[in-house]
Structure 1
């Protein structure tokens, strides 16, 4: 089983934006209200969970972009 990166791959970002050129990707992301970070090479980086939420029509926030936390509960063990 292949583990996916936390970030969209270059080809995935090109598929979302419709552009191969990083400056055009940045324009598209900014114009469409997407959050992104820039690498030292000025390439946009978009988080995978963030992209999934945006593409599903859900406004990403701190509460829905983080997986539910799991806690070890022994209260019912008798």
Structure 2
């Protein structure tokens, strides 16, 4: 299963650099938003990268199931 954040290998493949400083520079020069980990690794979201690369997300319309019919109704005729 893919994680929500690009792996180090994927980020190196995307930017062409293994060094984190060069990766950050590449991302900044191209206007990519990213967050840095405590170790200084740039973290790029997978869905964000797909959008920046021009891939579209296929959205399937989902209709909610019909509401269930109640099995009983309370008798409130004797409530004052």
Q: Give the TM bin, normalised by the shorter chain.
A: 0.7 to 0.9
- Verify: 1:41 aligned to 2:33, yes or no: no
Distance 1:69 1:40, change over 3 A: farther
Segments of 4+ moved more than 3 angstroms? 67-71
| Higher-Rg member (1/2) | 2
Partner of 1:61: none
- Verify: 1:74 aligned to 2:66, yes or no: yes
What is the alpha-carbon root mean square deviation over aligned residues? 2.8
Relative to the length of structure 2, the TM-score reads 0.71
Partner of 2:76: none
Distance 1:20 1:56, change over 3 A: same
Relative to the length of structure 1, the TM-score reads 0.73
- Verify: 1:16 aligned to 2:8, yes or no: no
- Verify: 1:55 aligned to 2:53, yes or no: yes
Aligned residues: 68
Ranges in structure 1 where 5+ consecutive residues have no aligned partner? 59-63
Alpha-carbon separation, structure 2, partners of 1:18 and 1:28 = 9
Alpha-carbon separation, structure 2, partners of 1:14 and 1:44 = 11
